[in-house]
Amino acid sequence: MSRIVPRDQALADARRILDHARARRDALPLRQAAERAAVGSERTADEIELHLRRLHRAARTQQQPVAPAAAAA
């Protein structure tokens, strides 16, 4: 039997599932993630791994806290 789920509940369930999937994806080592992404892709695992490393490096640079002295200037 099917049951009708309220929209808010359906959205919350979808968000929970996506968050769980993202957490699993982000927990993978970069090489393993690249190998999985390469399946069925025109790109090689090496190309994807290089791109992932660049993205991670860029994200780390953007997350660097601003030093108090620099913030005061």
Q: Are 37 and 25 in contact (CB under 8 A)?
A: no
Put simply, whether the predicted model's pTM sits higher than 0.75 gets the answer no
pLDDT in tens, the chain (73 residues): 688 999 999 999 999 999 999 899 889 999 999 999 999 999 999 999 999 999 989 988 887 766 665 555 5
Helix H or strand E segment including 36: helix 30-38
Using the CB atoms, write b or e for 19-49: b if 16+ within 10 Å: eeeeeeeeeeeeeebbbebbeeeeeebeebb
3 state DSSP class of 3: coil
Give me the pLDDT at residue 67, please.
Answer: 62
Q: What are phi and psi of 12, to 5 degrees?
A: -65, -40
